[in-house]
Structure 1
């Protein structure tokens, strides 16, 4: 394929060289004449292991060149890959001016050459969700004529290992609903060793942010745990070396699915004890200290949503923090029941495992402190809880789908992201 890569920074220069190495004919475009001249001479425009040798090789083979003339580069191009920077504005917002400029150049070229070959525009610059479609609509001609298509494909290149990362990413994300764009991008990266995931443009944009934010969380977490370990004379390297060996829970997808707040007898009290310990040792651990407030705010969001819907009679299915147990300690559903009841909402609870008469020890103590009138709220069947309700909050109960459908009222599943919660306020009081 004939490919134009806009931007010869870290992402662009590596992308251009690697695509050329895979057999595509690539033209790099950059406003910085110094970078363009370097590539033309077979030199790397920046320091990255292996890049200089690769650029020299593909330039000598005639598959990579560079220019400052965008229109000239776009002649007969099949794909335009946008890799320009999106730095922070002074107020922390994302600056998209460079992407806008490139899309404006591509849009101008398309308007001047309405009969040219179809062009697939692939954006790799990091953009917040919704930005790609907004900028394309603002800077490019109406796509109805079929002259071009658009895809958003985030990159996962780490400086110092970018060439290896290009060929072996965790996945190839193709954000598009356009079959032509999907086929073009699939062909463009067909030598990349990674599973392909087609998603919406907004999802593709979000994946990059989720990945980078989680990397930042992991680094901050490791450093805070190291400070904690140092304060208690523990070898932080040994601690984390053992920690990462657990691929079942510690390094896995099990705790990375949006849903209900955490609760139970372990996580809240252990986080609380850890925070007390770091404070006692005069160790700064702002990430750890944010965990409980963040968890509480997630529960509050659900309660606020129920109140905004105007529900006055609510069926809460599942009270324990986890299905199949009767552990009520720090269950988010206990907080939900307590708060809604305090707001004047009539709450009826069904949990097939929880029996107040059989609760013992700290479990009994906790519920008698937080929800002393539990026995008056519990009913003995899902049908009894649902009867006359304005809506259902699906907590830890594993209610059959047909039961929820037959209920005939909205269901707010606490174990799903908020976008799946009911959105229309009800008139019944």
Structure 2
């Protein structure tokens, strides 16, 4: 199939490469010239495991290209996938301007197209957005829904750091549309994906991601609170939660149920706020949802207080992005931690092998410029130097190179926020809640 993808961020770039790997011809569309240039050189716009090899291989085959010309992209493809950002405002409402602008562009292009076209909403949106997108496309194209075009809600379930693996192995492929033809076409597009296909109504397809991510956020906070109590009672929280997770009949899966640091990133906080806002807008009380962010903020304070209690002014941070295997700094709780320490007059040194200041762009760059504008002066690619220049070291990524740092630098104090796998406990080491 010939497919166009609007938005070349995380979801768009991964979809571009993986669809091409499955034999489709894919054109990326973006307003950022730098992203277009990267794709047209066979390079990924993100840092993500396996993405570079897949994208380059399919670019060399001629299956991948990028352009800023939305009209050309729509006219030359049969399916357009919308992957543009949906940031939340201070009140938790989503800003869907980019989604609506993309719908206007697709509609304007369809005005000049004879064939049937399918628009897929891959971005996370609120219920009712599919209908509005259909109205916008109809208005700008002069065509009727399900006669000249169809709109499909097809939420993604990708985690940064394992997005390629998740693309090929999602828990389920959700297709929500009022067009049988489009439903069958999208099912064919996903042939070869290791997941059942669930065809459902549009509103359920739009809402499932919020339910998923709100529950994921709940699991993180629940496990952290258990861990904090366990630490006070000198109980091994990880052994306890391992036992808890053995119940796969009632307790679901073990994912996220590990005591540690606060959740962050561009999905869980935003989607949780949106879900809370939905309840508020309907005048519903939602005490559990309302408490999750409070608990998450408390976990950030827990980490900050651990550091402040050490009374050492030189702090090293090992891992700045919101999770390992990515360069995404947006809403990273570690960025917030660093910002708080700098505001209190601490000297902060940072090591993160995935964060390259010269390559940070778009909303990622805007976020870090707002919170740590002089990051380039603090970050280093020399792990040993960062540790030697610090007195207290914060471990925020669970990666092999941090495994024995507490033993290799016995004169430093280490605070582990993620429970580095198989790390050896020592007098100069403590976990945030174990």
How far did residue 112 of structure 1 move? 2.8
Deviation at 1:50, TM superposition (A): 1.1
- Deviations along 1:362-400, one digit per CA (max 9) or x if unpaired, are xxxxxxxxxxxxxxxxxxxxxxxxxxxxxxxxxxxxxxx
For the pair shown, which has the larger CA radius of gyration, 1 or 2? Answer: 1
Deviations, residues 264-302 of structure 1 (Å, cap 9, x unaligned): xxxxxxxxxxxxxxxxxxxxxx969969xxxxxxxxxxx
Q: 1:146 to 1:287 in 2, by over 3 A?
A: closer
Instruction: Give deviations 1:41-86, integer Å, cap 9, x for gaps.
Output: 0111111111111110010011011001101111231110001110
How far the C-alpha of 1:143 sits from its partner, in A, is: 2.1
Q: Deviations over 1:200-258 (max 9, x none)?
A: 11100111111111100110111011111112111111111111011122227xxxxxx
Q: Please list the CA deviations of residues 286-345 of structure 1 after superposition, one character each: whole Å capped at 9, or x if unmatched.
A: 969969xxxxxxxxxxxxxxxxxxxxxxxxxxxxxxxxxxxxxxxxxxxxxxxxxxxxxx
Mind listing any 5+ residue stretches in structure 2 that lack a counterpart?
Answer: 254-286, 293-434
Deviations 1:130-174 (A, max 9, x none): 122123213433425711111100000000100010001000000
Does the 8 A contact of 1:108 with 1:140 survive in 2?
Answer: no
Give me the TM-score of the superposition, normalised by structure 2: 0.57
How many angstroms apart in 1 are the aligned matches of 2:49 and 2:129? 32
Q: Larger relative CO (CA 8 A, sep 6+): 1 or 2?
A: 2
Unaligned 5+ segments in structure 1 are 253-285, 292-429
Q: Distance in 1 between matches of 2:209 and 2:224?
A: 23
* CA-atom RMSD in angstroms: 1.9
Corresponding residue SS for 1:164:
helix
Are the aligned partners of 1:106 and 1:140 in contact in 2 as well (CA < 8 Å)? no
The residue aligned with 2:406 is none
- 1:20 is aligned to 20
Corresponding position of 1:119: 117
Secondary structure of 2:156 counterpart: coil
Distance 1:154 1:288 in 2: 22
Matching of residue 131 in structure 1 with residue 132 in structure 2: no
Closer, same or farther: CA 289–84 of 1 in aligned 2, 3 Å: closer
Partner of 2:233: 232
Tell me the residue number matched to 1:37: 37
- Aligned to 1:104, the other structure's residue is in SS state helix
TM-score (norm 1): 0.58
Is residue 161 of structure 1 aligned with residue 166 of structure 2? no
| SS in structure 1 at match of 2:81 | strand
Instruction: Show the 5 A alignment for 1:18-417.
Output: 18-113=18-113, 116-141=114-139, 142-144=143-145, 146-251=147-252
Aligned to 1:385: none
In the alignment, what sits opposite 1:280? Answer: none
Q: Is the contact between residue 156 and residue 165 of structure 1 (CA under 8 Å) also seen in structure 2? A: yes
Q: Which residue of 2 aligns with 1:3?
A: 3
48-57 vs 13-22, which deviates more?
Answer: 48-57
Q: Secondary structure at the match of 1:122?
A: strand
Length, aligned pairs only:
256
